[in-house]
Amino acid sequence: MKKVISVLLAGVMALSLAACSGNKQADSGSASKSAQAASEAKSEAAAQSSAKAETSEESVELNVLMLHIIGSIEDSQKVEDEINAYIEPLINATVKFEWLDLGDYVDQINVKLASGDVIDVLPNFSMMMPAMYASESIMPLGDLVAQYGDGIVAALGEDYLNCGKINGELYSIPITNAFAQNSAFIYRQDIAEELNLDFSNVKTLEDMEGIFEQVQAAHPELTMICCNSFTDPQLREYDWEGLSDEYGVLMDPVNSTEVVDLFETEEYMDYCKLMNDWYSKGYIQSDCATCTEQLTSLLDSGLYFGTIAKDYPGNVEEKFGTSKYQIKAVQLTEQISTTTLVTNNVMTIPTTSQNPEKAMQFINLLYTDEKVQNLISYGIEGEHYRLVDGKA
């Protein structure tokens, strides 16, 4: 498959609200269940959108910001035309995409909002949400979702949707993603098979000590844990909820909403002692704090056995699917869902929107209509990608 367009209709919202629905534990299939619900809601939502489109009115054009992460957008206009030909009969509206690169996305959004640019659909980042709410740059969405977003509610569920509320009012819509995560050790399967490593008794980070001893004895040239300056926070925010900045944390997010000072806890002291011990033994990459190389490249270098990272269903295939080595993961912590995680990627409608109703109808299609989803993610079937065994 050749992916011509690879984007993230996303934003991030770190309002430090502790946890969605009481920080309750989430099952490992949360993301897949949301995706299934969205697919099942497709036909009904499309029919509703079509029925609600007031065809007697002139079609409107929606200005939609798009975050470009990887891949070519050379044929984006062709894909945009294909999307418009499909959605105009459904919602009596078309879209005009404006592509912004990840590197200056935040700065450009701030400039556009400050200038009063008309934006109808805005993928958002978490650090921007508090300021946007305070400056009234984004509009409340509760009434719009109630009228035009039945498919969104069906795809997400009320609990996850409620995570987008600020002071009791909905301002953002979480994008279907991995709503639950756990810490895991990601490792090279070839080394594990060669040494016949047994992970069956590995339940905690401390249990990895015996594994490291075996690998180091057989392969002294390998460092056990690779990391970089971007993933290093995953070593710090290991088995607690950092509430986005780690100044106050939930040490037991599944069972308690008590916010404590991480650096005063015995758990963090024990964790630091373990990391220091492993670093002195050469288990951890020596330049971890300053390295900027991607984890995939580090593992492909053949110098490392694995890494500690956040994990979720499909994570290994998504991030390490093109690795030169077979990559596996062993779970080290309980999988949980938090508000910070759920609202990591969100959709918003700025107050400069001139057609918020149509904007919500289009957002509804993003959650319910398989054709719209595939066009945005992959391009035009048969031209930009093909299906193999029913998968793109």
The DSSP bridge partners found for residue 88 are none
Q: 95 φ, ψ to 5°?
A: -120, 145
Higher local confidence (pLDDT), 137 or 28: 137
Averaged pLDDT, 152-179: 91
Note the pLDDT tens digit of each residue in 31-90.
Answer: 444 444 445 544 454 444 444 444 457 899 999 998 887 677 888 999 999 999 999 999
Confidence of residue 23 (pLDDT cuts 50, 70, 90): very low
Query: What pLDDT is recorded for position 346?
Result: 92
Residue whose token pair is 């556009």: 112
Residue whose token pair is 């992916």: 3
Contacts of 134 (CB under 8 A, 6+ apart): none
Averaged pLDDT, 339-346: 84
Query: What pLDDT is recorded for position 391?
Result: 66
Query: What pLDDT is recorded for position 344?
Result: 80
For residue 181, pLDDT over 90 is answered with: no
pTM of the full structure: 0.73
Of the listed ranges 89-103, 161-175, 349-363, 374-388, the least confidently predicted one is 374-388
For residue 190, pLDDT over 60 is answered with: yes
Confidence of residue 176 (pLDDT cuts 50, 70, 90): confident
Query: What pLDDT is recorded for position 83?
Result: 96
CA end-to-end distance (rounded Å), the chain: 7
Highest mean pLDDT among 126-135, 299-308, 312-321: 299-308
Confidence of residue 390 (pLDDT cuts 50, 70, 90): low
For residue 7, pLDDT over 90 is answered with: no
Query: What pLDDT is recorded for position 234?
Result: 55
Query: What pLDDT is recorded for position 304?
Result: 96
Mean per-residue pLDDT over the chain, rounded:
82
Residue closest to 183 by CA, chosen among 311, 330, 270: 311
Of the listed ranges 104-108, 276-280, 325-329, 368-372, the least confidently predicted one is 104-108
Above pLDDT 70, what percent of the chain?
82
Please state, in angstroms and rounded to a whole number, the distance separating the CA atoms of residues 182 and 308. Answer: 11
Confidence of residue 170 (pLDDT cuts 50, 70, 90): very high
Cα 238 to chain centroid, rounded: 18
Q: What secondary structure, in 3-state letters, does the chain show?
A: CCCCCEECCCCCCCCCCCCCCCCCECCCCHHHHHHHHHHHHHHHHHHHHHHHCCCCCCCEEEEEEEEEEECCCCCHHHHHHHHHHHHHHHHCEEEEEEEEEHHHHHHHHHHHHHCCCCCCEEEECHHHHHHHHHCCCECCCHHHHHHHCHHHHHHHCHHHHHCCEECCEECCEECCCCCCEEEEEEEEHHHHHHCCCCCCCCCCHHHHHHHHHHHHHHCCCCEEECCCCCCHHHHHCCCCECCCCCCCEECCCCCCCCCECHHHCHHHHHHHHHHHHHHHCCCECCCCCCCCCCHHHHHHCCCEEEEEEEECCCHHHHHHCCCCCCEEEEECCCCECCHHHHCCCEEECECCCCCHHHHHHHHHHHHHCHHHHHHHHHCCECCCECCECCEC
For residue 364, pLDDT over 70 is answered with: yes
C-alpha count within 13 angstroms, C-beta hemisphere, residue 142: 9
